[in-house]
Chains A and B, each alone.
Chain A
Amino acid sequence: MSALLEVRDLATEFPGKQEPTRVVDGVSLDLDRGEVLALVGESGSGKSMTALSLLRLVPKPGRVSAGQVKLDGQDLLGLSVTEMRRIRGGRISMIFQEPTTCLNPVVRVGVQVMEAIALHETVTPADARARTRELFAEVGIPDPDARLDAYPHELSGGLKQRVMIAMALSTRPEILIADEPTTALDVTVQAQILSLLRALQRDRNTAILLITHDLGIVNELADRVAVMYAGRLVEVAARRDLLADPLHPYTKGLLRSIPARSQAGERLPEIPGVVPPPDQWPRGCRFSTRCAERFEPCAEIFPQEIRPGVGRRVWCHEVERSRTAVGNEGDREGETS
């Protein structure tokens, strides 16, 4: 059975000084119905740009330059502007980091959700209001009747994010793209929103594409994880495999550098250096400038995809070499499957 959303060899580029810069390069991902896939990376990794590319919302002068994005077999990149508008906020919804900037400050929040409903279907105002009230209750807004008539500034950050989630759910989307949905929230409120997203995914079987820099949130919510670095995927794995047994040197370094994982008094293991700007990305593996395990081919040749296990993909010469050295023939077969 094919996945609900299939992304194949997606590339997004911006005009550069000489040649265009590919900020998303060769990304292939599947998202199944009801699944939570986390797209993880640091700033400049291309994780948000990947999400915007799926929805064809790449800011100009950027553009999706290659690849396919198939929703139930239908290529979104080939749709007309009107058709795409129906998909956005319809079958695929999105919530963002900063709810304040997404809500109109001079319109009551209930009205904003009702408008979103009316945009995608024909409803009477009374029905839209009743639906909005139900949604507010579902996303855990206390006293939903009163809150329908509140203005955004009268609500706390946590409540505003709940309103955004209610709005995103109003058209019963099959996919919710959540871009750093809790980054602007306090940690106790974050825990509430994570719990809410988990319940929605379970009760409505909504697939979630979760974009985050926080591996703790990945652990709390995701089924599978895709790690990005400088526009490229470096590793894709089930949540447990990735956290318990990371294979790519970047994933390993990222996990080690989290202060919560180290013992008090120990020195934090660092990843040296910084992500190079796009015009200085190496021809080979983009992490090679900071990688402690690099050897001859890394800077020059881009590593091929290796499949070291079921549902697992990694792009690394060192992982490939160590696996070849073990001489496990079964793996070789796995690569072509």
Chain B
Amino acid sequence: MSAQAKPLLRVAGLRTWYPIRQGLMRRTTGWVQAATDVSFEIGQGETLALVGESGCGKTTVGRSILRLESPQEGEIFFEGEDLLELGPEAMRAARQRLQIIFQDPMASLDPRMRIREQIAEGMKSFDIGVDENDRRDRVASLMERVQLDPNSMDRYPHEFSGGQRQRICIVRALAVEPRLIVCDESVSALDVSIQAQILNLLRDLQDELGLSYLFITHDLSVVRYLSHEVAVMYLGKIVEQGPTSRIFESPAHPYTQALLAAIPSLDPDRRGGAPPVLGDVPSPSDPPSGCHFHTRCDAAMDRCREEAPRLFELAQGRSRCFLAEESD
């Protein structure tokens, strides 16, 4: 994003850890270090993809921004105010501009409520629309916009397919006129032909409405299509960040390189490569010393075992690896 424009969202030094409580007195015996020192910005009309494998903390970051989790440290500036400083009433008001779409639409829709009511509920609580009829008209036009039949607005969620339900969740988020939508694995459960429809829709809506997305996913191929900027997380920390094309064409961090190499190829002439890294992701409640990735990294040096690297500046973006120290 351009250096002059003020970002819509600026997250700085975010830390969200979950206590591990044990024993009769429920004493805190340890911490799940879900997110540590997480910083990024999202400009208006832009998409940042937060990618990583399970346990990397990407979902925690998304939920922390909406204050669905309670971060211990950091700042989350959204439209100029620090969300972490807001009282309950002010935070409620901020949520109008800040929506989230989850992976499983069936779990986030109320099975016993007509979809019109679910979509209009948010409008009502933020005083959008003059009356019930006006809101009904708005629901209809939004449904039409995402290629849902407005005549089906009085149906229940189970009467729709998976792809249609995700469109309903998108409509429900759009209904309150947000500026930023957190998409947490929003297309991951969909079949590929439906996924393509939803990705195109998300992009069209961004172009039309100037929406910003924080796109949380484990699927790098989706990222390339949708995002302007990518942040790769591993065990609670951002390990690499940069413009999407740079990340895909010349990944700097060994973990990013492994992640990209692990994607099964679709090129019939290329297959059967050796797995790029061995072992599983260690537990975030007991991450390895030094660089968290050193236990699986081919390039690990002695120093990596003892010292945790900071984010070093690259020509485009940043990398949390001592190999990037010189370019810093």
Note whether A and B form a binding pair: yes
Instruction: Please give the residue numbers on chain A whose beta carbons come within 8 Å of chain B beta carbons, in ascending order.
Output: 42-43, 142, 156-159, 186-192, 194-195, 198, 213-217, 219-220, 239-240, 243-244, 253-255, 257-262, 264, 267-272, 274
- Is A274 within 8 A of B194, CB to CB? yes
- Is A264 within 8 A of B225, CB to CB? yes
Provide the residues of chain A in CB contact with B259, threshold 8 Å.
187-188
B272 contact from A198, A213, A253, A262, Cβ within 8 A: A198
Known: A220-B264, A258-B192, A270-B196. A191 touches B276 (CB 8 A): yes
Contact with A along B43-68 (1 / 0, CB 8 A): 00000000001100000000000000
Contact with A along B194-206 (1 / 0, CB 8 A): 1111011001000
Q: In whole angstroms, how far apart are the Cα atoms of A261 and B268 in the complex?
A: 12
Q: Does B278 contact A (CB under 8 A)?
A: yes
Q: Please, which residue of chain B has its CB at the minimum distance from the CB of A142?
A: B279
Chain B, 267-289, CB within 8 A of any chain A CB: 267-268, 271-281
Q: Does B163 contact A (CB under 8 A)?
A: yes
Known: A187-B53, A254-B192. A192 touches B264 (CB 8 A): no
Q: Please, which residue of chain A has its CB at the minimum distance from the CB of B283?
A: A156
Chain B, 189-225, CB within 8 A of any chain A CB: 191-197, 199-200, 203, 218, 220-222, 224-225
Q: In whole angstroms, how far apart are the Cα atoms of A271 and B53 in the complex?
A: 29
Provide the residues of chain A in CB contact with B226, threshold 8 Å.
259
Q: Please, which residue of chain A has its CB at the minimum distance from the CB of B51?
A: A187
Known: A187-B259, A188-B262, A191-B276. A268 touches B221 (CB 8 A): no
- Is A269 within 8 A of B196, CB to CB? yes
Shortest C-beta distance, B176 to chain A (Å), equals 27
Provide the residues of chain B in CB contact with A219, threshold 8 Å.
264-268, 271
Q: In whole angstroms, how far apart are the Cα atoms of A159 and B283 in the complex?
A: 14
A253 contact from B193, B195, B268, B281, Cβ within 8 A: B193
Shortest C-beta distance, B217 to chain A (Å), equals 11
- Is B191 within 8 A of A216, CB to CB? no
Q: In whole angstroms, how far apart are the Cα atoms of A120 and B279 in the complex?
A: 32
Q: In whole angstroms, how far apart are the Cα atoms of A326 and B12 in the complex?
A: 64
Chain B, 1-31, CB within 8 A of any chain A CB: none
Known: A42-B193, A274-B163. A186 touches B281 (CB 8 A): yes
- 7 pairs, CB–CB < 8 Å, chain A vs chain B: A42-B194, A43-B162, A156-B281, A158-B280, A189-B280, A192-B275, A270-B200
Most chain B beta-carbon contacts within 10 A, residue among A219, A240, A253, A271: A219
Most chain B beta-carbon contacts within 10 A, residue among A268, A271, A272: A268
Provide the residues of chain B in CB contact with A268, threshold 8 Å.
196, 199-200, 225
Most chain B beta-carbon contacts within 10 A, residue among A157, A187, A243: A187
Provide the residues of chain A in CB contact with B163, threshold 8 Å.
274
The 5 closest A-B pairs by CB, nearest first: A216-B264, A260-B221, A42-B191, A257-B196, A186-B53
Provide the residues of chain B in CB contact with A194, threshold 8 Å.
264, 275
Q: Please, which residue of chain A has its CB at the minimum distance from the CB of B163?
A: A274
A217 contact from B161, B264, B273, B296, Cβ within 8 A: B264
A259 contact from B225, B265, B280, Cβ within 8 A: B225
- Is B191 within 8 A of A192, CB to CB? no
Shortest C-beta distance, A297 to chain B (Å), equals 24
Instruction: Please give the residue numbers on chain B whose beta carbons come within 8 Å of chain A beta carbons, in ascending order.
Output: 53-54, 161-164, 191-197, 199-200, 203, 218, 220-222, 224-226, 244-245, 248, 258-259, 261-268, 271-281, 296
Provide the residues of chain A in CB contact with B221, threshold 8 Å.
258-260
Provide the residues of chain B in CB contact with A187, threshold 8 Å.
53, 218, 220, 259, 262-263
B268 contact from A158, A243, A254, A260, Cβ within 8 A: A243
Q: In whole angstroms, how far apart are the Cα atoms of A243 and B273 in the complex?
A: 18
Shortest C-beta distance, A41 to chain B (Å), equals 9
B197 contact from A158, A190, A217, A270, Cβ within 8 A: A270
Provide the residues of chain A in CB contact with B222, threshold 8 Å.
259
- Is B224 within 8 A of A259, CB to CB? yes
Q: Please, which residue of chain B has its CB at the minimum distance from the CB of A276?
A: B161
Provide the residues of chain A in CB contact with B224, threshold 8 Å.
259-260, 264
Q: Please, which residue of chain B has its CB at the minimum distance from the CB of A44?
A: B191
Q: In whole angstroms, how far apart are the Cα atoms of A188 and B258 in the complex?
A: 7
Q: In whole angstroms, how far apart are the Cα atoms of A142 and B261 in the complex?
A: 23
Q: In whole angstroms, how far apart are the Cα atoms of A217 and B276 in the complex?
A: 16
Q: Please, which residue of chain B has its CB at the minimum distance from the CB of A256?
A: B196
A159 contact from B54, B276, B280, Cβ within 8 A: B280
Provide the residues of chain A in CB contact with B192, threshold 8 Å.
42, 213, 254, 257-258
Shortest C-beta distance, A220 to chain B (Å), equals 5
Apart from A186-B53, A186-B218, A264-B224, 20 more pairs, CB < 8 Å: A42-B193, A42-B194, A43-B162, A188-B53, A188-B258, A189-B53, A192-B278, A195-B275, A217-B264, A219-B266, A239-B268, A244-B268, A253-B193, A254-B192, A255-B266, A257-B196, A259-B222, A260-B224, A264-B244, A264-B245
Shortest C-beta distance, A36 to chain B (Å), equals 12
A243 contact from B245, B266, B279, Cβ within 8 A: B266
Provide the residues of chain B in CB contact with A253, threshold 8 Å.
193
- Is B196 within 8 A of A216, CB to CB? no
Provide the residues of chain A in CB contact with B225, threshold 8 Å.
259, 262, 264, 268
Provide the residues of chain A in CB contact with B195, threshold 8 Å.
257, 259
- Is A191 within 8 A of B268, CB to CB? no
Q: In whole angstroms, how far apart are the Cα atoms of A291 and B53 in the complex?
A: 36
Q: In whole angstroms, how far apart are the Cα atoms of A315 and B118 in the complex?
A: 43
Provide the residues of chain A in CB contact with B220, threshold 8 Å.
187
Q: In whole angstroms, how far apart are the Cα atoms of A262 and B191 in the complex?
A: 17
Q: In whole angstroms, how far apart are the Cα atoms of A43 and B191 in the complex?
A: 7
Q: In whole angstroms, how far apart are the Cα atoms of A42 and B162 in the complex?
A: 12
Shortest C-beta distance, A16 to chain B (Å), equals 18
- Is A220 within 8 A of B265, CB to CB? yes
Q: In whole angstroms, how far apart are the Cα atoms of A260 and B196 in the complex?
A: 11
